[in-house]
Structure formats: structure tokens, C-alpha cells
Structure 1
Amino acid sequence: MTRVPATPRSGTPGPGPRDAARPVAGPPGTAPQPSSRLRAMDALRLLAALSVVLFHFTAREQHRWGMDPDEAFPRLSEVTPYGYTGVHLFFVISGFVILMSAWGRSVPQFVASRVSRLYPAFWAAVLLTAVLRWAWPTFETRTAGEVVANLTMLSEPFGVPAVDGVYWTLWVEIQFYAAVLLLLLVGITRRRVLLLAGAGPLVCTVLALTVPEARGLLTGLPWASMFGAGMVLYVIYREGHTRGTWALVGLNTVQGVVVAVDQKAPAIDALTTGTPVWPPLLALAVVGAVGVVAVVAFVPAVRDLDLPVLTTAGALTYPLYLTHEYYGWALIQALHPALGRVTTLVVVVSVCLALAWVLHRWVERPLQRPLRRAVERVLTRRHRREVEPVGSSAPASPVRASVLVGAGDRR
């Protein structure tokens, strides 16, 4: 296999990429070299978010429609429970893009990019949702202390009730970031990534299936195979494929299917009121989550799409995911008696998308760059103090700094 050098681009965390690169075709068996962004991956993020939105509005048990969702949407509610696998798709995309974001960067650069991408929209979403829960008569409120704890994005491991239940995926993402940060500290190489993406999910899947107590502590265990599949797909995208790399994608996909059938099918049934999900169809949806990321990354007709509107759509994904649930339920409760169910659903999804655009335009865009620079500056200063000899004003050795920040590419 011939390695084709590639310049990693920054990515969007938390559910999905932001600056995925579009490859230029190389020799057979080699990776395409990134030249711009994978705009189709941006659109795929929004598709994943919308599938979760429809799951919450038309399948998840709640009484905002004045009846159970399966009564409000008898036919649609037979399909939308499988929208839960939008979460699987989120995590496959994260494995691909977060590795892309880390490869070739220093620890300060990686941490700063993640903090600046995750927190601005999250802080706004926590405060907006907390205010709505306080003001809306049918919602349970959260205390000021609980809201403050939520703003750290670490409320779940400390046992603090979430302002919005959808935040559970962010704690899973943070656990994945910790694994990637470990790679950065030791130096990201193809071999190390494949080792982590192969052995890590295997251990996590075994624990998820056999040790229920471990799942309660490390919520990322059942999802490690989805992250692993995305990571291997990025290695193929960056450096070319072998039979072994595709076998590793397949192994992670099979593990994802096993966990989905064993644990996620009962979880979906517990959340919904309609017909139980059919395990073979759920398994097919999980395979599809991995497959569609591969299609976007490797099928020229898809990966080479250069439509800026796809990137604009992708930018709405994270704020939509963070804010849709409670604002959507409030709007459903207020509008459906006058507008009817179908019209209300269309209006509510449209309003949620509009709110997502407002957060992207007036919160994310103004705050991300200065926050990233500030965090990177602070971490870089601290790093320099750690690597500079005591009593010396000379810069640290470039070789030593490279090792410490994980910027090397040694095999």
C-alpha cells in the first residue's frame, strides 16, 4: 500500500464533522488526497439529526399530541423508531472526523478546537432550555445549581440531572476525545490508530455485553465500535486501504449490530409506544450508518459534490440537536389543537431549524474563533513552561516538543 500524504482538516465534534475534506483521486489502492471539504458529510450530519428529531416527535413516548405518538401518527411511528440509529450515524461520523481533526495537530490545538466547537452552542442551549423548562407549565424545572453543573458538560458523570436528556451523547463524545487525546500524547500513527480502533472496541463491546455496571460508569462502551468504524474509515481515506483495514471496519460493524440487537432494541421499545422494533431491520440500519459514511468518503459522485448549501445545512446540526426536544414539545403542545398533527409537525421542525440557524449565526460564529485562540494560547503557554529547562529562556527542543504534544508520525 502506497501512502498518500494528506493535510488533516478541523472537524466538528459532537455530533459530526465541520471541515471534512474532499479527496482528489490517487493511484489504485491509495488514499485520495484531501483538497477541500466533504460537503456531503455535512449533509449526512443533518440527516442524522433529523432522524433523531422525528424519533423524538413521532415515536418517543410523550403526551404533547394529546395522545400517544403511535395514535397520532399510526404509520409514521412504525418507521421513525429506527431514527434512533441516527445516533449510530453521529458516532461513526465522529470517529472519522475527530481523528481527522487530531491527526497532525498538537494537544493544545486539538483541545482548543474541541472546546471552541462544543461549548458556545451548548452554553446557549442549556440556558435557553432551562428558561423554557422554568416558564412552561408542563415541564419540570431545574435548579440554578443543576443548570450551572450542566454548563460544564460533566453533569452526567457527577450524577446531576440533565437540563435536556439529549446531552447524554456529549458525555459519550468526551470519552472518545479522551482516547484520541491519548493517541496525541503518544504520537498518532497509522499503526497505533488501527490498534486502538481494533482492540479498543472489542474490549468495550465485551464489557458492554457482560458487565452492566461498567456501562453505567463508562457510557461510551456500547458505542465504541461505531467510533472505531469511523476511525478506520478515516485511515483508509487518508492513507489507502488494505484487506485488513476493511476487515476491521467489518468487525466493528458486526459488534455494533450485536450491541444494537442486544441492548438498543429493548431501549427503543422502552421509549416508544407503538410496535416493537424488528431486530433485523435495526441491524440493517446500523450497517447502513457505517455504509453511508463509506459512500460519502469513497464514491466519487458523492464525495465530490461541491454544493455550499450542504455545508450550510450541516452547520445547523449541532444546535438543532441541542435545542429541538423541549422547544419542539412545547410548540407541539401549543399548536396541534389549531393546526392539526401533520401541519404542526412541519411547522415545529421548521421552527427548530430556524432556532438552530440563529444559534449558529449569532452564537457559534462570533465565539468559536476567539475562544479557540484563547484556549490554545493558554495551553501552549503551559506546555512551554513544562518543556523549557528550568532557569532557561531558550525554546524547548523541537524534537522533544514534538514528542510531548504528540505531533510526531513515527511508525
Structure 2
Amino acid sequence: MKKAINNTRNLNLDFVRGVACLLVLLYHYTFRFFEVINQDNPWPVQVSFGYMGVSVFFMLSGYFSIKYTKESTGLRLFCFKKFLRLFPAYWVALILTGIITYFFLPERAVSWIDFAINFTMLESFFGVAPVDGVYWTLQYELLFYLFTALAVIVFKKKKIIPQISLVWLFILIIRDFINIDVVGKFVDKFMIAKYGPIFILGYLVYFLLETKMKRWKRILIYFEILLSFYYLWRHLGLEYFIFIILAFAFLIVTVCLSSKGQTGNKIVNKIIHPFTFIAGISYPLYLVHQNIGCAIIKTIGYDQAFGEFVLIIPIVVSILLAYSINRWIEKPINSYFNKKRQIKEGHLNNGTK
């Protein structure tokens, strides 16, 4: 029964991730592309709000990172697993995107030195432009995983995350009112200013719904939710703020239904299946879709008789590339190292008998 519930949870949350990924993709193809080339969009379809889907990724990262990070996990193993999760697919996508950008979008191409620095995933810390604009989120993911590792693995207490998050929120809010240049730059760079509370909201969903806690801690979590909303309202504007509230509420409902093992009927499950497929390749799809897809749109032309139906081609190409990276890069690498670790752990267990 427990396994079935876990499968349900993954299915429902994968649907959320898949929808968010498609929102971001359609935003870049139907809106951002025309902003970059400084042309009017001739299509009636404009998903101008799709960029907000990134906040769903951040929220899910907060939820999953605290849910699946164990206090017994060593820091070295944690970092290695995150490295495998993020970097191999990123490097392949970076090379593909760099080549396509160089030949088909030369106005967006970066220098060879900047291209090399992009392999660190920390190009913004060096004042270097990303090869693809969507890479701006990756440094935040890295910093957030580091924060989680320090809080859970180093201190060995997952339950203190709400208290640490409260300190994080207070620092971000105080930063708004105290303008000290050096401190401000540090907070902006290393404490995920502007988007940090979205990750925290993901944390809070886990503690609110999946842990037992005393009354004072529950009140603390409600207070942090309000603080997070206050900060996001100040920094992201009303429309984005409303989207985040809706995404947060939807995530709570989804987790509640999943924890009870509730799914839709067969027809509903068939409808959401394509979104769960997209969720499975969402990371490489996010990495490859923008510049490569925009290069295809620019090459084919966007004012032809087919209109917005021309989007089918970059969408299909991006999905095929993402599936290939997932199938031939991500899965084999993770499978190899998981088997290697299991063999090593098996030898250690045999040695202790």
C-alpha cells in the first residue's frame, strides 16, 4: 500500500512539474522570442505569463530536497548525487546549445572564454553571461542544495529547518531596509534574494503536511508562510505573487490527495500521462529548449501561412533532444554509480557480519 501511495504522489507531482515546464517553454517560443528580436508577435497565442512556471520548479525543489534528504547521508555522497543529477546533462546541453547558438543565433553567442566558464554553472559569479538565458536559475538551485546539505547533513537535524528558514527570511527582509553595500551584495548573491522564499515555501509544505509537530512549530510555519508571501509580494509584483499563491495552494492540495492515495479515474490518468512524461525529461528539456528552439523558429520563419503551428517543430525537436539526454546520459550514469555504490555497501555489510 505504501508503495502505491508513493507512486501516486510521484504521478500527481510529476503532472505539476510537467505543466510548469510546458509553461516556460511556451513563454520563450510565443513571447520572449519576439522580445529578443524586437518584432511584433504575429500569432494570437502568447503565453506571456509562462515564465512564472520557474517558481513551481523552485517550490518543488524545496519540497523534494527536504523530503528525500536523510540526516544519515554523508555530505560527500549528497554532493556527489547532486553533481550527477545536475552536471552531466547540463554539459551536454551546454555544448549542443553553444554550437547551435554560434551558427544560427550569432547575436546571442558568447566568447570562447565565457563558454568555458559556463561549464562551472556559476558564470554569474564571474560576471559572465550564460550561453542560454534559462541557465540563470541553476546557480540558485546549487546554492539551495548547499543550504539544505548544511542544514540537514552537517547539523544532523532536519527538524530545525523551519527555524533556520525563519532566520533566512529575516535576513532577506532586513536587507530591504538596511542598505549596506558589501552586506547587500553578499545577501543578493548567496542567499537567493528575490526567489529564496519560494524554495522555503516548498520546505514548509513538507513540514506542514508530512510531519508531526508541536503547536508552536505549526504556528511558526504559518508565520513563515506569511513572511514569504510578504517578501514575494514586494519583489515580484502582483501578478507573479498571485501565481505563487495559487501554485502553493495547488501543491498543498496535490500532496494531500497523494498522501491519501487518491488519483483520478482512468480517463484523467490518460490525460495527464503526457505531462508526467514531460516531467521525466523536464530538466534536460529546460536546458535545451530556448536557444535551440528559437534558432529553429528563426530559420523556418514565423510569419508564414502555418502561423503558430510552426511551433510544433521546435517543440518536437526539443523533446527528442531532452529524451535522448535523459535516456543516453542521465539514466546510464546514475544507474552505473548506483550499482557501484550498492556493490560497495554490500561488501561493507558482508565485512561487518
- TM > 0.5: yes
Q: What's 1:154 paired with?
A: 122
Q: What amino acid is aligned across from residue 93 of structure 2 in structure 1?
A: A
State how far apart, in whole Å, the 2-side matches of 1:206 and 1:57 are.
Answer: 38
Check the 8 A contact 1:332/1:345 in 2, yes or no. Answer: yes
Gaps of 5+ in 2: 346-351
Shift in Å, 1:96: 0.5
Q: What amino acid is aligned across from residue 249 of structure 2 in structure 1?
A: G
Correspondence list, 1:89-168, <5 A: 89-104=56-71, 105-168=73-136
- State the secondary structure of the residue aligned to 1:59: helix
Among candidates 311, 327, 346, match of residue 292 of structure 2: 327
Percentage of matched positions with identical amino acids: 22
Q: What's 1:272 paired with?
A: none
Check the 8 A contact 1:103/1:188 in 2, yes or no. Answer: no
Shift in Å, 1:259: 4.1
Q: What amino acid is aligned across from residue 107 of structure 1 in structure 2?
A: L
Q: Which has the higher helix share?
A: 2
Deviates further, 336-345 or 167-176: 336-345
CA separation of 1:286/1:35 partners in 2, compared to 1, >3 Å: closer, same or farther? closer
State how far apart, in whole Å, the 1-side matches of 2:138 and 2:177 are.
Answer: 22
Correspondence list, 1:14-163, <5 A: 23=5, 37-60=9-32, 62=34, 67-69=39-41, 72-74=42-44, 76-77=45-46, 80-104=47-71, 105-163=73-131
Shift in Å, 1:377: 11
State how far apart, in whole Å, the 2-side matches of 1:347 and 1:209 are.
Answer: 48
Q: What's 1:312 paired with?
A: 277
- State the secondary structure of the residue aligned to 1:81: coil
Check the 8 A contact 1:229/1:290 in 2, yes or no. Answer: yes
1:222 counterpart = 2:180: no
Check the 8 A contact 2:285/2:319 in 1, yes or no. Answer: yes
State how far apart, in whole Å, the 2-side matches of 1:354 and 1:239 are.
Answer: 39
Q: What amino acid is aligned across from residue 284 of structure 2 in structure 1?
A: P
Check the 8 A contact 1:112/1:372 in 2, yes or no. Answer: no
Among candidates 308, 321, 327, match of residue 355 of structure 1: 321
Shift in Å, 1:241: 6.0
State how far apart, in whole Å, the 1-side matches of 2:289 and 2:198 are.
Answer: 24
- State the secondary structure of the residue aligned to 1:330: helix
Q: What amino acid is aligned across from residue 189 of structure 1 in structure 2?
A: K
State how far apart, in whole Å, the 2-side matches of 1:62 and 1:369 are.
Answer: 41
* Deviation by residue 1:169-193 (Cα, 9 ceiling, x = unmatched): 1101111111111121110231x11
CA separation of 1:237/1:57 partners in 2, compared to 1, >3 Å: closer, same or farther? same
Q: What's 2:158 paired with?
A: 189
Gaps of 5+ in 1: 1-6, 8-20, 24-33, 266-278, 381-394, 396-411
Correspondence list, 1:253-332, <5 A: 253-265=225-237, 279=238, 281-300=239-258, 304-305=262-263, 309=273, 311-332=276-297
1:174 counterpart = 2:139: no
* Deviation by residue 1:192-238 (Cα, 9 ceiling, x = unmatched): 11212322223224325755645643361222211111112112343
Number of equivalences? 333
State how far apart, in whole Å, the 1-side matches of 2:342 and 2:177 are.
Answer: 39
Shift in Å, 1:92: 0.9
- State the secondary structure of the residue aligned to 1:323: helix
- State the secondary structure of the residue aligned to 2:124: coil
State how far apart, in whole Å, the 2-side matches of 1:139 and 1:102 are.
Answer: 42
CA separation of 1:253/1:50 partners in 2, compared to 1, >3 Å: closer, same or farther? farther
